[in-house]
Structure 1
């Protein structure tokens, strides 16, 4: 998806774990970790979301894409405490997580998180 939309990323890099995507790059992460986006995917979460905390402890936040309909409010609160944001289809957000402040639709993720980061990275000569 990121490749098709021309967003810069490195895949499966080792940074205290192995997130699916690191944006914009491992090189930038080494220079300025808080300016990077760590994005990983899990079809279902159960307790596996906790491994994400080890997949990059220095990024601005962790974004976890899922289609899991069974994330409890307690789990969402714990995720929020670790700066983990769930990214899911809008229909799932509306149905299951409408009141959770750390659940974003894919559209929100691109519009409010990734696109502003892209502008910042371009303006600062990162990409």
Structure 2
């Protein structure tokens, strides 16, 4: 078995790992499953006393569910491959040859069971190692890709349904525009923009440059990551760059308290939902 060929067939845009991920539920379905689980734990009421805990729990539970789906996909990956059409299997000749060779060992009537296990153990271990490695790449980003649905869930529970629009195109696509595109066209100075990302690692400069190009808006960039990840990702330099573009950074309360207690441009979940939005809402409703 050629390890490099096997790696090539598992990784990449057309790799087997990518195909396995297409069998999972959509981001919206993943978010709904997390919301159902959290509601069963914490109830359906969200208020200013619970908003930080509730949203943080939604985000964390979604990641837990994502890992469960990942483990299921890894466990069933061989079965799914063997049950696939011949044309599909032919896309991955190294994988196809590997599983055919393993089946030969299992079908060999002249080999003792322990010898069969010994013969297939190492090749399977290599396969699962590469598959797990592929899944681990981008895991956090994919698992956190449904954060917008959780923010929407919280907004609706707090009484903001009908006071925002999703995925609107201004100078760039923004996740939430308050209160509406109609108001944006009428008087953008009264509008508020919220962009939701898990981390700031890759695109944060592009994000706040897109937002700052809207000029005159109140702008917020929400990073949903937990404290242990924020300690590595959210640097003072990034915060200064974001603040310099007139963009507020919104983080979990714990991240605000531990890392940015005295930084005015960094706002915790609770303050954002229970102080900032109510204050901004006055401008939306007065203008309406």
Q: Report the TM-score when normalising by structure 1.
A: 0.87
Q: Which moved more, 1:111-120 or 1:81-90?
A: 111-120
Q: Residues 47 and 99 from structure 1, CA distance in 2 versus in 1: closer, same or farther, beyond 3 angstroms?
A: farther
Higher helix share: 2
Unaligned runs of 5+ in 1: none
- State the distance in 1 between where 2:155 and 2:206 align: 23
Paired residues in the alignment total 125
- State the distance in 2 between where 1:17 and 1:119 align: 26
Q: 1:62 aligns with which of 219, 241, 265?
A: 219
Higher strand share: 1
CA contact (8 A) 2:168 2:177 kept: yes
- State the distance in 2 between where 1:100 and 1:48 align: 22
Q: Report the TM-score when normalising by structure 2.
A: 0.41
Greater RCO, 1 or 2 (C-alpha within 8 Å, sep 6+): 1
SS in structure 2 at match of 1:118: helix
- State the distance in 1 between where 2:252 and 2:196 align: 13
How do 1:1-127 residues align onto structure 2 when only pairs under 5 Å count? 1-7=154-160, 8-52=163-207, 53-55=209-211, 57-68=214-225, 69=230, 70-124=233-287, 126=288
CA contact (8 A) 1:76 1:100 kept: no
- State the distance in 2 between where 1:15 and 1:5 align: 26
- State the distance in 2 between where 1:66 and 1:31 align: 30
